[in-house]
Amino acid sequence: MQQFVQPSAAHTTPMANAIRVLTMDAVEKANSGHPGLPMGMADAVSVLYERFVSVDPSMPGWPDRDRVVYSAGHGSMLVYAIHHLLGFEDMTRAELENFRQLGSRTAGHPEYGHADGIETTTGPLGQGIANAVGMALAERLEAARFPDLVDHFTYVVCGDGCLMEGISHEAIDIAGHLKLGKLIVLWDDNRITIDGPTSLSTSTDQCARFEASGWHVANVDGHDREAVAAAIEAAREDERPSMIACRTVIGFGAPTMAGSHKVHGAPLGAEEIAATRAALGWTAGPFEVPQEARRPWLAVAERGRTARAAWEARLAASPRADAFRTARAAPDAARLRTAIAGYKRTLSADAPKLATRVASQKALEVVNRTLPNMLGGSADLTGSNNTRTTGMTSVAPGDASGDYVHYGIREHAMAAMMNGIALHGGFVPYGGTFLCFADYSRPAIRLSALMGLPVVHVMTHDSIGLGEDGPTHQPVEHLAALRAIPNLMVFRPADAVETAEAWEIAVLSPRTPSVIALSRQGLPTVRTRHTDDNRTARGAYVLRSPDRRDVTLIATGSEVEIALAAADRLAEEGIGAAVVSAPCLELFRRQDGDYRAAVLGEAPRVAVEAAVELGWERWTGDAGAFVGMSGFGASGPAADLYEHFGITPAAVAEAARAVIKGTN
């Protein structure tokens, strides 16, 4: 435990003490929360706002504001206290008094959309700093396109946990490589974790780690306002991203608990709070803020309003104002739908046999030609994911004019950075990897679904059909796991037509992220009759309908071809098999009951998917059957694997006969 340091006027201010007291009061009233970080970082963060941050509470979302990301989201009272002091209309005293209560804006961890000015949802440690790298990248890209309209910083407040999580390494590595000089991280270097001192679990020299990744690094006393200010000023002048190690005392100001892991995540208690108030010279009552503490915060807000008004004047005078507004607006839905419909007409006429990963690239050619602000990328799998289209150029250190990001072998960071890019605005991000690596991306995908961000994940090599790379690379449980995430669309298109439709839906969905799972092996075009309507938008539809329906075969992706072949076999026996293509079960679930009933029919059902059965029971029912995987894959040619695991037209036909017999 660190020795208690008596706060003094030389090291703290009413601005900072207001954060400390409001934090103590809110956590105490809720009997839940994390007072240690806000109390320890109050000095450094109040200096950041007092002298540097440009933010306008009266218009929280203006595009050229500085972004402040609280990566250590457990210290949420830091942002809530600051927003209350700045005068955000929705962060009232009542909200602070309802900290962590059901229905309040002051959730246990900051949540994007719950309150104005919260730039991203944080809590899972490391995600925030990776989001911030995406924001800083978006700022550089947008500034390259609109230099007269974009010039702001991204600041991050992080703790030891953020830097211990592996995603932080990926994020700081790519940030250093791309020289994102408008990114500044303030690390709460208090040397405390929940279990006790950080020496229990780490000996890493974090400053050396950042320096090795190409960052500018500074060490300061986090309670010395002038030292913190000087470090931030130097960071703002450096072309590299910056990390400022702020040596702090956790729970600073609390006479008996400061410096202890006990103040990390528990209320201080009435006695300690009273002693802390005395140590800080704070005489106001609970949740009360005297004018001497509130006045400098309101000055920050006024400075932000002035900056925002000046920016709006620049926008009005800019010859590129319309282009800027277009880039930041929702994609032109009518234009894209027209382009995709024309492309689908050609596909249905030509009926190519394509791997859907190749079909995806061809659809992207249409999307990227049609929309001005698509931002592509891949986790070092560009040639396999087919995410780069004609005319795209690479984003490089010192050159942000490109529109394609080489994320490197960093799926964790790529997914989280794309969230940051979407949150920043100005671009529609998509990125590629293999479906079996969705687990690396899953935490960020989950957060994008929670926040409602229009991020597109291109995930190729979607089944045992990838072949010889074997079970380590063959996803079997991943579709089910992704489908379990609320507010996420998982597309598994059967051919080039469905692939184009999936892209149209994904790009035009304003509040839902998407995964597009794509095959390595070639698949025939199953939609040879053109329709302008996007049939994938219904989630599932009848692809083939017999005169009499004896059984319904439901399939996705590469297994639609197998279901059609099975239906042909059954037809030779006089058995009528309807074939349903189900490229997106989430969208199918949204349809009304009459539509779902018409598609599924009353006959027994067989589902076919080269993945595990989990989740299919809803659609097959008790009398149905499933043809797919019950374990991991194997190494071998794709055709041999489908035969080996019994995912064949013969096996589907046999399952159909069995369910028909079972219902008779």
Q: How far apart are CA 375 and CA 407, in angstroms?
A: 12
Instruction: Please list, in sequence order, all residues whose beta carbon lies within 8 angstroms of the beta carbon of residue 115, skipping any fewer than 6 positions away.
Output: 80, 83, 88, 90, 91, 95, 105, 106
**Nearest one of 91, 510, 522 to 332, comparing CA atoms:** 510
Phi-psi region of 352 (alpha: psi -120 to 50; beta: other; left: phi over 0): beta
Active site residue 411: yes
> What is the Cβ-side half-sphere exposure of residue 142, based on CA atoms within 13 angstroms?
28
> Would you call 127 helix, strand, or coil by DSSP?
helix
Which of 95, 411, 501, 504 is flagged as catalytic? Answer: 411
DSSP 331: P
Question: How far is C-alpha 366 from the chain's CA centre?
Answer: 25
Determine the residue type at 88.
F
Which helix (H) or strand (E) covers residue 360, if one does?
A: helix 356-370
Q: Tell me the pairing of strands 522-523 and 354-355.
A: antiparallel
Nearest-10 Cα torsion for 109, 139, 331, 319: 140
| 544: DSSP letter | E
Alpha-carbon distance of 150 to 551, in angstroms, equals: 59
CA distance 111 to 90: 14
CB 428 within 8 A of CB 371: yes
Contact 465, 357 (CB under 8 A): no
Q: Which residues of 25-45 are buried (b: 16+ CB within 10 A; e: fewer)?
A: bbbbbbeebbbbbbbbbbbbb
Contact 55, 153 (CB under 8 A): no
Contact 68, 57 (CB under 8 A): no
Give how far Cα 109 sits from Cα of 78, 146, 185, 376, 652, Å: 11, 34, 19, 30, 48
H or E segment at 559?
A: helix 559-572
Give the position of tokens 């104002």.
321
Residue 129 to residue 167: CA distance in whole angstroms: 9
Q: Given strand 404-406, what is the order of strands in its sheet?
A: 404-406, 374-378, 428-434, 456-460, 514-517, 489-491
Helix axes of 36-51 and 291-317: crossing angle, nearest 10 degrees: 50
Between CA 568 and CA 572 the distance in angstroms is 7
User: Helices (H) and strands (E) in the chain — how many of each?
Assistant: 25, 20
Q: At what angle do helices 321-328 and 127-145 cross, to 10 degrees?
A: 150
Q: What is the 3-state secondary structure (H, E, C) of 206-229?
A: HHHHHHHCCCEEEEEECCCHHHHH
| 445 torsion bin: left (phi>0), alpha (psi -120 to 50), beta (else) | alpha
Catalytic positions, written as ranges: 411
